[in-house]
Amino acid sequence: MKNLFVFSWCHLWSMGVGIGAPSYHHTINHYIESDEWNVFLFTADKTNLALKDKAQVYLFSLPEGIEKICMIPKWGFFLRTIKYWCYTWWAYKSAKKVLRNCSGKGIAYAYEFWGVKAGSLFAKRYKLPFITRFQGTILVDKKDRLIDRIKRYPEYNAIQTKADLVIMTDDGSKGDEVLKRLGNSSSLLFIRNGLDLYNNYRFLMENTDVHAERSKLGLSDNDKVCMTASRLVDWKRVDRAIYGVAEALKREPNTKLLVAGDGKELSNLRALAKKLGISKAVIFLGGVPQNMIYKYMLVSDIFLSLYEMGNLGNPIFEAMLMGKAIITLNNGGTGSVIKNEENGILLEEDQLEKLPDKIIELFEDEQKREKIAGGAFRYAEENFYTWERRLNIEEKNILQLM
């Protein structure tokens, strides 16, 4: 048996059990459920305790309320850096104790930036292969100024840390370019996420009663439905979808918007819909289990993804595989997947005022909408892969280091 020492602060699911981004959940379970690995997880997130029956989980506890203090804009970053180093030292010392009772080969695996320093120290001390794994990066549009490096010290430090292998998600946030810009010349596996529904998407498409599912949401067959799906945080820019739908409503009174997701922006987005006078047209679904996300996609006509960066996340891939017409922005690496007028509508960032026009155009021109949706579906079938295949590729690369 091989030993995998995982350093991570990630939630097992980003918005609750079975809800939100599944990347970390699938990754950690891939190794836990394998007969090849003993998994030792050093984490500060309590949701990981759900894994304690299948892996050895060690939990770092913070004082009550410290997370809220770290969110204070003016000086919360200072406490955040202290928190980073406290976890780093605890995880490093904890892993050292565990290693004393281990036999066989080992790998240090840091999942996201919080775990990188601890994993790096541990790997160097015991001469173990070292892996860093990132779900993308928020540093693509940062100027690398001293103030940015201070405020986001954990992120900059992690991205610049050399590893035997860096696994960077190709989510449109140009992580490969950020690594190069910051001087990290480590071996790189630059790869897209897998998809949950890949093996049963045709069954869902053929057996979902769209009329019944619409009725459950209070929607009629005549309604024209847009949808977004993401964590509700500021940079996901769900407000852009709300503004776009508000304008579209002036020409198509049956326009509706489904907003799937939860997060700190929820109250602001509700307030925006109320301010624009379209509260009845915007349906906030909250955190939605993965199996329901697909049904909501099927009852929608158009899927909107208008992030400030990195629009190539799982929601847009899943919407493509469900045969939806996509409207998104040509930022990050989005243009590497979405070809304008072929498998989606691709707007430049300075063309957001055209969003309502594009929504109305797709509502009114059913032939064009179906053509673009068909292009999205074909691209997804030909180019995306399951989580099993995605993680087998990762594991193959890791085993080459042992």
Percent of the chain scoring above 90 in pLDDT: 74
Residue 75 predicted with pLDDT over 80: no
DSSP states along 16-44: BTTBS--HHHHHHHHHHT-TTEEEEEEES
Who's near 90: CB < 8 A, 6+ residues apart? Answer: 42, 60
- Considering the domain 2-194+386-399, what is its CATH architecture? 3-Layer(aba) Sandwich (3.40)
pLDDT tens track for 183-242 = 999 999 999 999 887 778 888 888 889 999 999 999 999 999 999 999 999 999 999 999
pLDDT for res 202: 85
| One fold for 2-194+386-399 and 201-383 | yes
CA dihedral 90, 12, 15, 79 (to 10 degrees): 10
Who's near 252: CB < 8 A, 6+ residues apart? Answer: 224, 360, 363, 364
pLDDT for res 64: 63
Average of per-residue pLDDT across 325-338: 92
Band of the pLDDT at 148, cuts 50, 70, 90?
confident
Residue 16 predicted with pLDDT over 80: no
Q: Quote the CA–CA distance of 401 and 255 in Å, as a whole number.
A: 53
Q: Quote the CA–CA distance of 68 and 76 in Å, as a whole number.
A: 9
Q: How far is CA 6 from the centre of its chain?
A: 19
Which two three-digit tokens encode residue 56? 């050895």
pLDDT tens track for 248-271 = 999 999 999 999 999 999 999 999
Q: Quote the CA–CA distance of 297 and 308 in Å, as a whole number.
A: 22
Place of tokens 């307030």: 271
Q: Quote the CA–CA distance of 359 and 255 in Å, as a whole number.
A: 9
pLDDT for res 67: 62
Residue 312 predicted with pLDDT over 90: no
At 13, is the secondary structure helix, strand, or coil?
Answer: coil
Residue 383 predicted with pLDDT over 70: yes
pLDDT for res 138: 87
pLDDT for res 101: 87
pLDDT for res 73: 64
Residue 382 predicted with pLDDT over 90: yes
Least confident of 29-38, 65-74, 377-386: 65-74
Residue 63 predicted with pLDDT over 70: no
Ranges of each domain in the chain: 2-194+386-399, 201-383
pLDDT for res 275: 97
Residue 104 predicted with pLDDT over 90: no
Beta bridge mates, 289 = 19
DSSP states along 156-225: HHHHHS--SEEEEE-SSS-HHHHHHHTT----EEEE---BSSTTTHHHHHHH--HHHHHHHTT--TT-EE
CA dihedral 337, 342, 348, 354 (to 10 degrees): -140
Q: Quote the CA–CA distance of 273 and 245 in Å, as a whole number.
A: 10
CATH superfamily of 201-383: Glycogen Phosphorylase B; (3.40.50.2000)
Residue 54 predicted with pLDDT over 70: yes
Residue 162 near residue 131 (C-beta atoms within 8 A): no
Supply the Cα-derived Rg of the chain in whole angstroms: 22
Place of tokens 């709300």: 242
Average of per-residue pLDDT across 66-70: 62
pLDDT for res 105: 87
pLDDT for res 83: 86
Average of per-residue pLDDT across 90-116: 93
pLDDT tens track for 114-147 = 999 999 999 999 999 999 999 999 888 888 888 8
Instruction: State the DSSP code for 130.
Output: E
pLDDT for res 69: 62
Band of the pLDDT at 20, cuts 50, 70, 90?
confident
pLDDT for res 310: 75
Q: Is 268 left (phi over 0), alpha (psi -120 to 50) or beta?
A: alpha
pLDDT for res 122: 97
Average of per-residue pLDDT across 339-359: 95
Least confident of 3-17, 22-36, 273-287: 3-17
Which two three-digit tokens encode residue 230? 């993401």
